[in-house]
Amino acid sequence: MPDTIATDSPFSDDERRTLLALVGAVIPASADHDMPGADDPDIAADILATARPYHATIAKALKQIVSIAAERYGPSYADLDAAIRAKIAGEVSHSRFAGAGTLVTITAQCYYRDDRVMRSLGMEPRAPYPDGFDIPHGDWSLLDPVRQRGKIYKEV
């Protein structure tokens, strides 16, 4: 949970509403996998805090999304069906580093470090350091055919 309070946020109420509607549509909750949606209060707070330095870029993207929703469907984006919200989000997220893509990137960053999500994926909810991880050293006899073939570099 980020160490921030809502009043610190540069996002207006309308922007927050659109943003939460977007992230919840992009990564919805899953009862089958016992996973929250990205609009879960803890994850959403993390997203809003992480997105703060990118407010200008994201606000512009949210405005575009609201405009597309109004043009095509009439109601506000946040009131649309989740499938339509996800479809619009996909359309405007062309790149990781611009506009809505920035918000999708931040959403994934915050979602996939949540304890509940990590546990559901079979991960320990912890930082890599200091415990690290084990991986098998491997069977180096796999190199036998490479050795048998002999040298391949060019003599000069």
| CA separation for the pair 60, 130 (Å, rounded) | 40
Q: Give the x-and-dash track for 44-83 against other proteins (CB under 8 A).
A: ------x--x----------------------------xx
| CA separation for the pair 86, 28 (Å, rounded) | 10
As measured in angstroms, the least distance from the Cβ of 105 to other proteins is: 6
Count of Cβ atoms closer than 10 Å to residue 98 Cβ:
13
Q: How is residue 132 written in tokens?
A: 């690290």
Identify residues 118-147 at the interface with other proteins (CB under 8 A): 118, 121, 123, 125-140, 142-143, 145-147
* Tokens 């098998």 sit on residue: 136
For residue 16, count CB atoms less than 10 angstroms from its CB and return exposed for 0-12, middle for 13-18, buried for 19 or more: middle
Among 12, 30, 63, 119, which residue interacts with other proteins (rule: CB under 8 A)? 30
Can you give the binding site for other proteins, defined by CB under 8 A?
25-28, 30, 32-33, 35, 50, 53, 82-83, 85-87, 89-90, 93, 95-97, 101, 104-106, 108-113, 117-118, 121, 123, 125-140, 142-143, 145-147, 149-156
